[in-house]
Amino acid sequence: MSSASSVQASLTLLAQTCALSIAAIRTNSAAQQLPLSSLRTDFLSLLSVIYSNTTKISIALNPSNPAYSATAIPLKDLITHSSTLASNASSFLLNIHGRALTAEVHSTAIDVLTALQELAHAHLSLIKSASKDDAAITNYKVTNDTYLAKTGVVHELITQAKADHPQGLSRTNLIAVRKRWREHSDLVADAAAVLEIEADPPDDDDDDENDHDDFDDGWGDLSDPGKQSPEQVELAKKVRAFTLPISHDSTSDYGPLLFPPFVHIVARYSMSWNARQRSS
């Protein structure tokens, strides 16, 4: 039968395993080339198991009635699967599976492992507080709310990764590129607005009409970059030619008609770069 001290030891080991796993993902030292379909399937399966075992330990370690003996197997599985998740994520390679997809997988795995590590620390604090009557009475609600919130974070991250296309984990590098494009669409829209101004600068007459306005709001040096040179205007026009409004209506993985040309350029460059890496 597991005791509080043995559960503490397992939780400490889980937190350490998560930390080592995160470091391993960031090192990305995997050399074996594995097919994308099986890697992605295994990755999502591991997330499902982590979700299930996270639920089990949080229920078993309910501070109002902890059942330490029920945590032995889930904790053992979490320690094993945390390490396996890192190994799987590290098998996604930039020059094989694509830079955008690899970055998305690594980010998802690190976020889940970080949340799991924080949950382990929350449970450790819970057990330590329970061993001190005064502290348990004072900090019971705070600690209880903390472990519930951190359990929810793990669940939410995994649910998001397993969601249906296109919200879930990308199936291909091109889809990952497209997702990143959409995530930054507001920034791109702002940049496009600046391009419109720079590509079609106002006439000098318009500036002269505003010369009488002497109000100084303190932002003059930042908001008025000065008149664009002919070279800057021409460059802005060329860049603008490669930008089109982004359509969010397409459900196709590739959407060639609704897809911004810039994304195709990025994806083609990525595939070309990957091919050069494999041949070198």
- Omega into 166 within 30° of 0, i.e. cis? yes
| The domain boundary residue, chosen from 112, 141, 171 | 171
Q: What is the CATH number of the domain that holds 98?
A: 1.20.1420.10
**Per-residue pLDDT band at 230 (split at 50, 70, 90):** confident
Residues 250 and 140 in one domain: no
| The domain boundary residue, chosen from 171, 197, 213 | 171
Inform me whether the pLDDT recorded for 203 exceeds 90: no
| The domain boundary residue, chosen from 136, 171, 206 | 171
pLDDT of residue 249: 42
Containing structural domain, residue 270:
175-279
Give me the mean pLDDT over the 245-261 stretch. 44
For residues 118 and 98, what is the distance between their CA atoms, to the nearest angstrom?
Answer: 30
Q: What is the DSSP secondary-structure string of 184-207?
A: THHHHHHHHHHHHHHHSPPPHHHH
**Structure tokens belonging to residue 178:** 């497209």
Give me the mean pLDDT over the 154-182 stretch. 90
Residues 158 and 187 in one domain: no
pLDDT of residue 227: 63
**Per-residue pLDDT band at 72 (split at 50, 70, 90):** very high
Residues 183 and 127 in one domain: no
- Yes or no: say if 104 and 170 are a contact pair by the CB < 8 Å rule: yes
Residues 65 and 92 in one domain: yes
pLDDT of residue 252: 46
**Per-residue pLDDT band at 115 (split at 50, 70, 90):** very high
* 204 or 16, which is more confident: 16
- Yes or no: say if 201 and 234 are a contact pair by the CB < 8 Å rule: no
* 27 or 22, which is more confident: 22
Give me the mean pLDDT over the 83-94 stretch. 93
pLDDT of residue 257: 36
For residues 195 and 199, what is the distance between their CA atoms, to the nearest angstrom?
Answer: 6
pLDDT of residue 31: 65
Give me the mean pLDDT over the 11-40 stretch. 90
Residues 211 and 154 in one domain: no
Residues 96 and 229 in one domain: no
- What is the overall mean pLDDT for the chain? 78
Kindly report the number of other CB atoms within 10 A of residue 120's CB atom. 27
* 71 or 3, which is more confident: 71
pTM of the model: 0.69
Give me the mean pLDDT over the 83-112 stretch. 94
Residues 51 and 140 in one domain: yes
Kindly report the number of other CB atoms within 10 A of residue 227's CB atom. 11
Look at the chain and report how many structural domains it folds into: 2
pLDDT of residue 198: 66
Residues 13 and 150 in one domain: yes
Residues 129 and 209 in one domain: no
Residues 49 and 167 in one domain: yes
Residues 41 and 104 in one domain: yes
Inform me whether the pLDDT recorded for 95 exceeds 50: yes
The lowest-confidence range among 33-42, 189-198, 217-226 is 217-226
Residues 117 and 19 in one domain: yes
pLDDT of residue 132: 65
pLDDT of residue 192: 67
pLDDT of residue 19: 97
